[in-house]
């Protein structure tokens, strides 16, 4: 199973953003146990789909407002209805990960046992850094492509040439990061199943 713990960054100097994030997560991501506030400005949820977990983690970490910890492992069953009542190694790993995420690349960390956890963390941190370092114009073009528009449609929407769209996507490493994200999601899914089965 995959447990994600998310902690608001610089919460003492800004407003509480937890409720806004909780609404966003409910609207966009499916979970085994929904995200809920566990303490202060921290929330936690349980997922079984690696691809969804990766997309969610990168989405939230990419805002720059949250530290995201992914924990992988078994959970005690039957799982309680409320996330905060859950127990097991996945929850423990998520706690370790979110603490490390506060000073990690891309504000994201992953914890589990074995080298697979380290490899997955490195991949996700790399993607998070690529995402964070894109220019505004590259991010704009990439988001439109990710919504299903063709390069020609993006060019029309942005009133630029198709060559300019291609250049923006290339400079932002959109296809490369997207492929690595896809592979990391599949790998996380396999790893979580393996860890849960022991």
Q: For residues 96-131, b (16+ Cβ closer than 10 Å) or e, as one string?
A: bbbbbbeebbbbbbbbbeeebbeebbebbbbbbebb
pLDDT digits (tens, 9 = 90+) for 123-176: 999 999 999 999 999 999 999 998 899 999 999 999 999 999 999 999 999 999
The pLDDT tens digits of the residues spanning 49-96 come to: 999 999 999 999 999 999 999 999 999 888 888 888 889 999 999 999
- Sign of the torsion angle spanned by Cα atoms 81, 186, 169, 108: positive
| Residue closest to 102 by CA, chosen among 61, 46, 43 | 61
Nearest CA to 117 among 86, 73, 87? 73
Give tens-digit pLDDT for 22-38. 999 999 999 999 999 99
> 3-state class of 43 per DSSP?
strand
Q: Are 65 and 59 in contact (CB under 8 A)?
A: no
Q: Which domains does the chain have, with CATH numbers?
A: 2-114+188-197 (3.30.70), 136-171 (1.10.10)
Residue 105 has pLDDT above 90, yes or no: no
Q: Rounded to two decimals, what is the model's pTM? A: 0.91
Please state the separation of Cα 5 from the chain's center in Å: 11
Neighbours of 163 (CB within 10 A): 10
CA 64 to mean position of chain CA atoms: 12
Torsion, CA 18, CA 20, CA 21, CA 26, rounded to 10: 120
Composition of the chain by helix, strand, coil, percent to 5: 60, 15, 25
8 Å CB contact between 69 and 96: yes
């Amino acid at each position: 199973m995959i447990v994600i713990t998310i902690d608001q960054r610089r919460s003492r100097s800004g407003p509480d953003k937890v409720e806004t994030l909780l609404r966003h997560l409910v609207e966009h991501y499916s979970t085994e146990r929904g995200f809920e506030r566990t303490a202060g400005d921290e929330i936690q949820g349980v997922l079984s789909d690696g691809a969804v977990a990766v997309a969610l983690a990168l989405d939230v970490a990419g805002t720059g407002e949250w530290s995201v910890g992914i924990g992988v492992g078994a959970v005690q069953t039957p799982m309680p209805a409320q996330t905060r009542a859950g127990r097991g190694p996945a929850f423990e790993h998520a706690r370790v990960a979110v603490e490390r995420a506060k000073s990690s690349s891309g504000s994201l960390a992953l914890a589990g046992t074995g080298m697979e956890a380290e490899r997955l963390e490195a991949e996700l941190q790399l993607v998070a850094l690529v995402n964070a370092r894109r220019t505004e114009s590259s991010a704009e073009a990439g988001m439109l492509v990710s919504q299903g528009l063709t390069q020609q449609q993006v060019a029309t929407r942005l009133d630029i040439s198709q060559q300019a769209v291609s250049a923006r996507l290339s400079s932002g490493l959109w296809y490369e990061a997207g492929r690595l994200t896809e592979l990391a999601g599949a790998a996380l899914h396999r790893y979580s199943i393996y860890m849960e089965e022991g």
